[in-house]
Amino acid sequence: MTHLSPLDISSLYCLISATSNSTYGGSAYGSLYEPNLTGSQGGSGSSGTAGGRGGGKAKITVGAIMIADGSIEADGGDGSNLSGGGSGGSIWIIVGTYIRPNLT
């Protein structure tokens, strides 16, 4: 069996669009059943500070059994100086059997 370290795709990002400060985030987008989009960048701050980066995207296909003893993340980056945080990306896992040991 191959042991892989935790997968973090937060550094893979997409700068889609930014909004001005003091605005709310946008609506959800993409597919619940076939998630394949990166997250979008957060809105810029009042001082022109860029928003946080959007999260990455990953598609994981495992032919038999996947044992995830850790985390798989596609987090968006934090905002700073009144800018907005980036939205999370997507993770699409196709697997025969999924095992998550040590749930707490």
Considering just the CA atoms, what is the radius of gyration of the chain in Å? 16
Q: Domain map of the chain by residue range?
A: 1-104
Contact indicator for 61, 40 with CB cutoff of 8 Å:
no
Does this model's pTM top 0.95? no
- Joined together, the tokens standing for residue 48 give 């022109």
Mean pLDDT of successive 10-residue segments in the chain (104 residues)? 46 42 68 92 89 94 88 91 92 90 69
